[in-house]
Amino acid sequence: MIDINLIRNNSELVKENIKKKFQDKKLPLVDEVLNLDKKARTLKQERDSLRQNRNAFSDKIGLLMRDKKIEEANKIKEEVRKINEKIIEVEKEEELISAKIKKDMMLIPNIIADDVPIGENDSKNVEGERFLEPKIPDFEIPYHTDILEKLGGIDIDSSRRTSGQGFYYLIGDIARLHSAILSYARDFMIDKGFTYVVPPFMIRSEVVSGVMSFEEMDDMMYKIEGEDLFLIGTSEHCMIGRFMGQIIDENKLPLTLTSYSPCFRKEKGAHGIEERGIYRIHQFEKQEMIVICKPEEANDWYEKMWHYTVELFVSLEIPVRQLICCSGDLADLKYKSCDIEAWSPRQKKYFEVGSCSNLTDAQARRLNIRYKNKKGENVFAYTLNNTVVAPPRMLIAFIENHLQKDGSVIIPEVLRKYMGGKEKIEIK
């Protein structure tokens, strides 16, 4: 959510930003907020004036009662009663207008960075840097579920019976590999100075609406029936929500946190063959990184964070690239974002394995997360998040890039201590 002062003082900038995001249907919201804000301020002035009059009358009543002028005092009491009724009426109208302003403000997208490419959808995203040279082996690479089945590592048929489409069983060495990747990612981030956290896996609606747009919530979140609780789609949600309504000690900033969680997503819509198997699923696990910092630190942290993910994938000998998200591909709360994509030797192209975002103060403003600066002012913090690694999707890149001609999968050196010293996974 942006600062309402930006709409008051530079509404044209806000409108131009909406156009850059190809959300012209939201343009009327800006003028609506301006009109409602003007009315709200007029009502506040009226309320303040009524209270001043009431206070003056109350003082007068006290003097009249002291002087035993009961009848005159009772007449003024009647005036006070009418003023109180009017104050209640004005306050109710203020409350309705404030709620409408907040609802509109939560639909207006965050201002995007100047260097965000302008484009309507993800087809206009721009390649940034590449890391490690992609390789195409001299043998055919099967579809990832076929590889995993030959390794005795997956059972999708049983999961369809127990849970439906979009679920899976990981088994044996593949299940162990899945856990090894998460353990390695955890230790990798701890070595970078991040504090490890295991958060709650459910959050209340006020947290959900604070960390994402309503459209995202409807597309992603599973609600617990009969409860004000949602299953998290990513640990970022509960990690940022942890600081809701808090004033953080400035000396503790930046907060650098890395969290493990399962993630649950609806993943609405039909998907092609490449998004079946374990690519687009309803349940997965992820290691995340979250930073809460001062505004002037955010850009540096953004660069550090996505580079950490690159460093991790390179250490696992998986070629990756950075893909800079265009304006139309940015969620409403994002100032800028980039995807990290891993090389698929089978498809001979890159595919998304993580995303890094700078949300400036958009989440903090919704959740009222502040810190006291050196001037003694309570100001909103900036929030950033980034995927460290998200198996099992990452397993696709892993097994394709380490698959051998005999069907075995090589385990890179950095992972072997998490695999009991095992150097490869072989066909069962």
How many helices and strands in the chain, by DSSP H and E? 13, 18
Rounded Cα gap, residues 326 and 320, in angstroms: 19
Report if residue 387 sits inside a domain: yes
Report if residue 178 sits inside a domain: yes
Kindly state whether residues 307 and 418 are assigned to the same domain: yes
Rounded Cα gap, residues 340 and 350, in angstroms: 9
Kindly state whether residues 62 and 210 are assigned to the same domain: no
Kindly state whether residues 136 and 258 are assigned to the same domain: yes
Kindly state whether residues 83 and 129 are assigned to the same domain: no
Task: Please say which residue of 77, 105, 133 terminates a domain.
Answer: 105
Report if residue 325 sits inside a domain: yes
Q: Name residue, tokens 């840097």.
A: 129
Q: At what angle do helices 172-191 and 393-402 cross, to 10 degrees?
A: 100
CA angle 291, 181, 425 (to 5 degrees): 170
Task: Please say which residue of 63, 80, 105 terminates a domain.
Answer: 105
pLDDT > 90? residue 428: no
pLDDT score of 322: 98
What is the arithmetic mean of pLDDT over 366-383? 94
Number of structural domains found in the chain:
2
What is the arithmetic mean of pLDDT over 321-333? 96
Q: Which of 44, 120, 47 has its CA nearest to residue 325?
A: 120
CATH number at residue 41: 1.10.287.40
pLDDT > 80? residue 27: yes
Please give the residue that has the higher pLDDT: either 135 or 188: 188
Kindly state whether residues 92 and 59 are assigned to the same domain: yes
CA angle 359, 361, 363 (to 5 degrees): 70
Kindly state whether residues 89 and 201 are assigned to the same domain: no
Report if residue 229 sits inside a domain: yes
Residue 406 CB contacts under 8 Å (≥ 6 apart), including other chains: 427
Report if residue 48 sits inside a domain: yes
CA distances from 55 to 48, 63, 262, 420 (A): 11, 13, 57, 77
CA distances from 275 to 144, 157, 161, 313, 427 (A): 11, 17, 20, 21, 24
Residue 67 CB contacts under 8 Å (≥ 6 apart), including other chains: none
What is the arithmetic mean of pLDDT over 6-22? 96
Rounded Cα gap, residues 234 and 288, in angstroms: 8
Kindly state whether residues 199 and 236 are assigned to the same domain: yes
The rounded mean pLDDT for the chain is: 92
pLDDT > 60? residue 275: no
Q: Which amino acid is it at 83?
A: I
pLDDT > 50? residue 416: yes
What residues make up the domain containing 229? 122-425
What is the arithmetic mean of pLDDT over 185-189? 98
Question: What phi and psi, each to the nearest 5 degrees, are found at residue 343?
Answer: -80, 130
Kindly state whether residues 87 and 138 are assigned to the same domain: no
Kindly state whether residues 138 and 100 are assigned to the same domain: no
Kindly state whether residues 244 and 219 are assigned to the same domain: yes
Report if residue 116 sits inside a domain: no
Report if residue 110 sits inside a domain: no
In which band, very low, low, confident or very high, does the pLDDT at 395 lie, cut at 50, 70 and 90?
very high
CA distances from 94 to 90, 98, 158 (A): 6, 6, 56
Report if residue 115 sits inside a domain: no
Residue 74 CB coordination number (10 Å)? 12
Exposure letters 330-355 (e unless 16+ CB within 10 A, then b):
bbbbbbbbbbbbbbbbbeeebbebbb
Using an 8 Å Cβ cutoff, are 327 and 424 in contact?
no
Rounded Cα gap, residues 305 and 291, in angstroms: 9
Kindly state whether residues 191 and 129 are assigned to the same domain: yes
Q: Which of 329, 384, 325 has its CA nearest to residue 116?
A: 325
**What pLDDT, in 10s, does the model give residues 87-119?**
999 999 999 999 999 999 999 999 999 999 999
pLDDT score of 270: 46
CA angle 384, 385, 387 (to 5 degrees): 155
Rounded Cα gap, residues 365 and 211, in angstroms: 10
**What pLDDT, in 10s, does the model give residues 113-163?**
999 999 999 999 999 999 999 988 999 999 999 999 999 999 999 999 999
pLDDT score of 179: 96
Rounded Cα gap, residues 151 and 221, in angstroms: 33
Tally of residues, the chain: 428
CATH number at residue 390: 3.30.930.10
CA distances from 107 to 94, 111, 212, 331, 415 (A): 20, 12, 10, 11, 44
Kindly state whether residues 294 and 331 are assigned to the same domain: yes
Rounded Cα gap, residues 20 and 334, in angstroms: 13
**What pLDDT, in 10s, does the model give residues 37-85?**
999 999 999 988 888 888 787 777 777 777 777 777 778 788 888 888 8
pLDDT score of 183: 97
Task: State yes or no: cis peptide before 142, omega within 30 of 0.
Answer: no
Task: Please say which residue of 39, 73, 105 terminates a domain.
Answer: 105
Rounded Cα gap, residues 400 and 412, in angstroms: 13
Handedness of CA 154, 160, 164, 165 (dihedral sign): positive
pLDDT > 50? residue 225: yes
pLDDT score of 409: 96
pLDDT > 80? residue 219: no
